[in-house]
């Protein structure tokens, strides 16, 4: 990546389009943490982890100090490259047996999975996750 591209990346920043916004002075609510844990299947586990998250958000927020008025946001650092298109020919495949060996349990040529997504316990029903 050239120095000029790097500079552009800094200038465009997050703009006003980020998917995640913090409330108030940067403290993240319990609801947000639980929501994140369900979406991403991560386990924040402890107050320290949440504090780390808050610090990371504060760090990223500093990008907002950059004036991006009138600057087109960069969608991709690959924006000056061409998307490669492959021709409609079958070049690989026929490796079903090999791929099926990745799974502990198969039925004929199907992978076996549990009957559906196993829901996390509902809010309020779960035991506290305080590990560390």
Partner 1 sequence: MLCPPTGVLNRRCVEAAVMTGLALNCHINKKSLFDRKHYFYSDLPAGYQITQQRLPIAANGSLTYGVFMGNKQSRMATKTVRIRQIQLEQDSGKSLHDDLRSQTLIDLNRAGVGLLEVVLEPDLCCGEEAAAVIKELQLILQALGTSQANMAEGQLRVDANISVHHPGEPLGVRTEVKNLNSIRFLAKAIDHEIQRQINELESGGEILNETRSFDCKLGCTVPMRDKEGKQDYRFMPEPNLPPLVLYDSASLPAGTESQQVINIDQIRDALPELPSATRERLVRRYGMLPEHSFTLLNEVGLLQFFQNVMKETRAEPKKVTSWVLNTLLGYLKHHNLAVSESPVTSSALAELLDLLDSKAISSAAAKQVFEELWKGEAKSAAQVVSEKQLELMQDREALEQLCQSTMEGHPQVVTDMKSGNPRAINKLIGLVRKATLNRADPAEIKDILERLSS
Q: Note the residues at the interface with partner 1 (CB under 8 A).
A: 19, 35, 39-41, 75-88, 96, 99, 107, 109-117
CB of 4 to partner 1, least distance (A): 18
Upper half-sphere CA count for residue 40 (Cβ side, 13 Å): 9
Instruction: Specify the residue, 47 or 120, whose C-beta has the smaller distance to partner 1.
Output: 120
The C-alpha atoms of residue 16 and residue 73 are separated, in whole angstroms, by 10
CB of 46 to partner 1, least distance (A): 23
CB of 132 to partner 1, least distance (A): 25
CB of 73 to partner 1, least distance (A): 10
Residue 59 C-alpha from the chain's centroid = 18
Instruction: Specify the residue, 7 or 111, whose C-beta has the smaller distance to partner 1.
Output: 111
Spell out the residues 6+ positions from residue 120 whose beta carbon is closer than 8 angstroms to its own.
37, 38, 126
Residue/partner pairs of 83-89 with CB below 8 Å, 24 or more apart: none
Instruction: Specify the residue, 46 or 100, whose C-beta has the smaller distance to partner 1.
Output: 100
Instruction: Specify the residue, 3 or 19, whose C-beta has the smaller distance to partner 1.
Output: 19
**Pair 26, 111: CB distance under 8 Å:** no
């Amino acid at each position: 990546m050239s120095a000029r591209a790097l500079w552009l990346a800094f200038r465009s920043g997050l703009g006003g389009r980020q998917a995640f916004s913090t409330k108030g002075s940067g403290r993240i609510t319990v609801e947000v943490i639980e929501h994140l844990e369900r979406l991403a299947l991560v386990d924040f586990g402890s107050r320290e982890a949440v504090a780390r998250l808050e610090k990371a958000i504060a760090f990223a927020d500093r990008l907002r100090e950059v004036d991006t008025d009138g600057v087109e946001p960069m969608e991709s650092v690959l924006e000056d490259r061409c998307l490669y298109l492959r021709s409609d020919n079958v070049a690989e495949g026929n490796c079903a047996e090999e791929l099926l060996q990745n799974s502990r349990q198969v039925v004929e040529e199907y992978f076996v999975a549990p009957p559906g997504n196993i829901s996390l316990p509902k809010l309020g029903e779960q035991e506290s996750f305080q590990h560390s």
